[in-house]
Copies of this chain bind each other. A is one copy, B any other.
């Protein structure tokens, strides 16, 4: 019998997850509390497959479920993609924990809420975690796996194994932290970026060029720590001896939360494509991300 997962909530992220699991050969049972979202799901899935260069025949493994209960049938994993509102999440997890078989893992796509906020007090809190994707997960593989204090290590092991089985890249956190890892890294860089733009030191285009034609390329191939490991003859320890004091001085003089101003937003908005182009450019971004993923996999194979 094919392995089965359940997708609860089939907006943008739920549909991307559906593709991740279906293309890996799993059966996917999809449900959404909103009948309209469910009714249009198959057409939207078809579109997303075509745009990402995926074979739409993988959607034969997708079943639309009439209710939450039947969506959970035989599922080893539930990927929940509901709204990021604590009262809604609590209600969903109470239902999921009551209806799902005891061995089913319940994973949330939440980016802002941590698992303890909606798992606390539930009988099955040991099987609840956050599996935070980067939008959209069918073209960006990283998934942050974030336990609550109650999540069982064995559940984390199974989560990690499943993510590898479906060719995502799991990153396991040891405990809850506000913003997880990815958004903490994004936040500090954005603060300094917006501040440099607001001070007029660099244009928004120049700021983006610095990353996409510079720093970002190394980070995409190696990550930031493996990058500095090659930036001194003796590796990362040598790097920190040589450049640590300079980098510390730069961080200490960098902007923080005060940089997220309306002014910085206005300067940036004036330099970038208008919001009428967000949908079109997002599709273009996703096509490029899919191509980049293939390119990076080809590099890996050749090494």
Contact check: which of B193, B201, B234, B248 meets A175 at CB < 8 Å?
B201
A 210-240 binary contact with B (CB < 8 Å = 1; else 0): 1111111111111111101111111111111
Asked if A24 CB lies within 8 Å of chain B CBs, one says: no
Asked if A134 CB lies within 8 Å of chain B CBs, one says: yes
Instruction: Determine the distance from Cα of A40 to Cα of B278 in the docked complex, in whole angstroms.
Output: 52
Instruction: Determine the distance from Cα of A233 to Cα of B280 in the docked complex, in whole angstroms.
Output: 11
**Residues in chain A within 8 A of chain B (CB atoms):** 112, 134-135, 140-142, 144, 169, 171-175, 177-179, 181-194, 196-197, 200-204, 206-226, 228-240, 244-262, 264-266, 268-269, 272-275, 278, 281-282, 284-285, 288-289, 291-293, 295-296, 299, 303
**CB–CB A213/B169 < 8 A:** yes
The secondary-structure label for the interface of chain A is: helix
What residues of B have a CB within 8 angstroms of the CB of A234 in the complex?
A: 275, 278
Q: Looking across the interface, which residue of chain B has its beta carbon closest to that of A293?
A: B217
**CB–CB B211/A219 < 8 A:** yes
What residues of B have a CB within 8 angstroms of the CB of A218 in the complex?
A: 134, 140, 285, 289
Contact check: which of B209, B229, B248, B265 meets A223 at CB < 8 Å?
B209
Counted per complex, copies of this chain come to 2
**CB–CB B213/A141 < 8 A:** yes
Instruction: Determine the distance from Cα of A296 to Cα of B296 in the docked complex, in whole angstroms.
Output: 12
Q: A187-B254, A233-B275 are in contact. List 10 more A-B contacts (CB 8 A).
A: A173-B202, A185-B192, A186-B215, A187-B250, A188-B251, A211-B223, A229-B272, A236-B265, A251-B260, A288-B299
Contacts A/B (CB < 8 Å), 22 sampled: A112-B246, A142-B209, A171-B209, A178-B250, A185-B189, A187-B247, A187-B251, A188-B251, A190-B224, A190-B247, A211-B219, A219-B220, A221-B285, A221-B289, A229-B278, A235-B273, A236-B268, A236-B269, A240-B264, A248-B259, A248-B260, A252-B256
What residues of B have a CB within 8 angstroms of the CB of A273 in the complex?
A: 229, 235
**CB–CB A186/B224 < 8 A:** yes
Given A181-B206, A215-B134, A222-B208, answer yes or no on A235-B288 (Cβ-Cβ < 8 Å): no
Instruction: Determine the distance from Cα of A204 to Cα of B178 in the docked complex, in whole angstroms.
Output: 19
